[in-house]
Amino acid sequence: MDILHNAGMFFIILGLPFFLSGTVGLLRFPDIFTRLHALTKADNVGLGLIIFGLALQSDSWLMVARLFLIWLLVLIASSASCHLVARCAMQKKIQPWSRP
């Protein structure tokens, strides 16, 4: 195994806890706004680390470009969908959570 393969595995393994923390945030946080924050932030960072790890292991520049294009499209779709869900929640007068 070469150093790029090991570095790629390191970044892939490093990205997995971010997905796990986003899932835990979705299940444990009290309202829709904090859940959206947990999902969009943690999952985007986790996906970025995994994409970077896969890019290090890739054999061709075309595959690296495709991987980063996928990440860019997911970033755009994630932020747009998060904004739309939060905006719909605000229109329905759902109040953000606050400490009692």
Does 97 fall in a domain?
Answer: no
Could you read off the pLDDT of 16-70 as tens digits, one per residue? 999 899 889 889 998 899 898 888 888 899 999 999 999 999 989 999 999 999 9
Domain count, the chain: 1
Structural domain span for residue 45 = 3-91
Please calculate the CA angle 51-41-89 and round it to the nearest 5 degrees: 135
Rounded to whole angstroms, the Cα distance separating 12 from 28 reads: 25
DSSP code string of 60-76 = -HHHHHHHHHHHHHHHH
- The pLDDT value recorded for residue 55 is 95
Is the pLDDT at 1 greater than 70? The verdict is: no
Does 51 fall in a domain?
Answer: yes
